[in-house]
Structure 1
Amino acid sequence: MSTSKPPIWYWILSIIALLWNALGVMNYIQQAYRTEGFLEQVTTEQLAILDSRPAWATAVFAIAVFTGLLGSLLLLLRKKVATPILIISFVCAVATQIWWFTTDGPSTGGQITGIFIPVLVIVFAALLVWMSRKATANSWNS
């Protein structure tokens, strides 16, 4: 099967996706290693919530960000395998945010970090799944 050239918006969104997911990986690493920068950004209430996070929630957070980064890279490389990887990322991102919304996280983070960013994570992950499926349907990838 031959592939056709994707439109410019595909490249722009793929680069944004790669950067976005790199930030997600960075966020995960900062949380996992409790970096000084991370500790300066969170309140004691948020830290208490994160400290009480169950192992499954930590695991799906890690899977979400690392598969998101890999899937974004595969979008740039125009590979069909990006779709199932981005679906895994989406499912894990939803699970992570469901956990967040069942805690006091939204009330401790304010409107931006407590509610807006978690919703944006889900929307963006869904957008990447849609985009990868569109790329396959339009023969932009192989």
Structure 2
Amino acid sequence: MTNSTSKPTTVFWIIGVIALLWNIMGVVAYLAQAYISDEDLAILPEAEQAYYNGIPAWVTAAFAISVFAGLLGCITLLMKKKIAVILFFISFIAIIVQFVYNFFIQDFMEISGAARMAMPIVVIIIALFLIWFSKDSEKKGILS
């Protein structure tokens, strides 16, 4: 087993912990959507009820893969393992699959409005940043 050649900086640890917290929130969001109760669903407007009732299994799977791969990516990043790069890439691909459905197949914009467009953009930017950050950390010898 090889050891890291470079010691991680404080910034590495701060980014890693913030990314971990971000991905934990993603897991919570997935669990809330996947296990929404009938009572909670009934409170939502009709359009959102129809949206949640009509989500195909492959989209739910993409959501699950994106958040759990991101979470595992953060854990392995903090463990200074190279596999973090692959996990962040898998998470990003699953995010794109999910958002293709939301924006091009299901027309999420009609249901949620333009104001909710910000969150998917933030998710994509953070996912791309984590891919770059983990690759950069690998290049610097922090990840082994």
Structure 2 residue runs of 5 or longer lacking an equivalent are none
Moved more, 6-15 or 124-133: 6-15
Residue 43 of structure 1 deviates from its aligned partner by: 3.5
Equivalents in 2 of 1:12, 1:27: separation in Å? 23
Q: TM-score, normalising length from structure 1?
A: 0.88
Equivalent position of 1:21 in the other structure: 23
Please identify the structure whose Cα radius of gyration is greater. 2
Equivalents in 1 of 2:70, 2:103: separation in Å? 21
- 1:19-74 CA-partner distances (Å, limit 9, x unpaired): 11111111111111114896498543123112211111111111111111010111
Closer/same/farther in 2, CA of residues 8 and 56 from structure 1, 3 Å limit: same
Equivalents in 2 of 1:78, 1:58: separation in Å? 30
Q: CA RMSD in A?
A: 2.1
Equivalent position of 1:110 in the other structure: 113
Equivalents in 2 of 1:81, 1:38: separation in Å? 38
SS at match of 1:141: coil
Equivalents in 2 of 1:77, 1:43: separation in Å? 43
Match of 2:107, as an amino acid?
D
Does structure 1 retain, via aligned residues, the 8 Å contact 2:16–2:77? yes
Is 2:104 the partner of 1:141? Answer: no
